[in-house]
Structure 1
Amino acid sequence: MTSAIARACESVNVSAADHPHYRTQKGEITTNVLAICSPIAKFIFVLLEWKGSTADSRVLRNAISRPHGLKVPKGIDFCDSIVWIQEQIVCQLIFCISCLGYHYLCDVGYPNVEGFLVPYRGERYHLSKWCGAGNAPTNPWKFFNMKHSSARNCTERVFGVLKGRWAILRAKSYYLVKIQYRTITACYLLHNLIMREMCQTTMPGTIDDEDSTSNELDDENIQFIETSDEWTNFKDELAMRMFDEWEQAS
């Protein structure tokens, strides 16, 4: 099963002295929210209270190491067969890996480590850049990025729904920052409640709401993240196999 990780920058109101800590590269005053969205448009993990200037990799490391944090199974068999789904209508989930638990699709701000698939740097990524016959991918890295972007597009849509539903997320609040964190958390929880109780559409090919990693023992999960040649080779092999099968099917 493949879910997507995204960084959500939610506007907050803090004192002028704290502005440098909360200011993003775009100059906005925000809190850095690490959010994980499932293919059925629900949030399965949300971590708040990091300042907007904090690097995504640091937030991810904290999410994994903290008690009751993000659970990512380890001990993947790199010889497992790779499942390539050429036509999948569920939230544009284009590919997955046949192994235990979840894999998370991340943007380039996150490290390329076991359990997390990031796009290739220096290649086109966003779906709008692949429009038109002349923009078809010409190598495995471009093709991987195109499918990666398509799969993560589900997350972008969910954030659009979230902010469209809750106006308080579209502009900074004037409550105390701790109350703002609680308000943001409440919006995410209410989104999941609405999706569970009021949305009648069931997406085929997805698992049920129960998190299959919730019962994993701590020693079976990744406790810290680090880059490795083994994971890099695995990702390259995945990209090449996907590209080869796409060319054969064309």
Structure 2
Amino acid sequence: MVAHRRRATRNKLVSYSMTQRINAQFSHLNMIIDAGDVQCVLNLRMNRNAFGRLCCLLMHLGGLTDSRYARIQEKVAMFLSILAHHKKNRVISHDYICGGQTVSTHFQEVMRASLKLYMLLLVKPTPVDWNCDSDLWKWFEGCLGALDGTHIDVHVCAREKAKYRTRKVNIAVNVLGVCDRNMNFIYALTSWEGSAADDRVLRDALTRDDAFKVPRDE
């Protein structure tokens, strides 16, 4: 009888704890999203409209689904928080009241779903017309866009840090990005360590098997 009461008590505590945890997760997510666009941009680097559209794309095109204890919105918010603020696993685990393994699983799910959107998100550029009225682009008739490199901080094992250390001593990857005049990505190369020079990254982008090719008029 005593053992039975102990098991009943443990089950009751576990059930109560799960309920409290889910309510706390919803409260944290609502605090970010429903508080207004300012808080959403500060935390996720996009407004509520963009966040909602991204969640819909990841669900319908990327195949992202709700889990037993996590909605799609929560998974995407975790993913964006990590990317936007370089938050560590243990910080996200504390904010969203879940285990570190759960955070890693959700991050990988959203990453896989995001990769399925590349055909939609990587656009085909159109050249600047001779009658363009934009003060920024009207001087560049025929231009398709612009390219630049940036360093994005990463976490790597200790033996790999020397290769990824930039001239500013950050541990990062050297990313080449190409955008059209509307800031839509045309091409991105993310495989180079932070110590690599920009011209080396560009040379690789132009000569690799899946090379970046600049369209030309026939």
- Normalised to the residue count of structure 2, the TM-score between the two structures is 0.33
> Bigger radius of gyration, 1 or 2?
2
Higher share in helix: 2
- Normalised to the residue count of structure 1, the TM-score between the two structures is 0.29
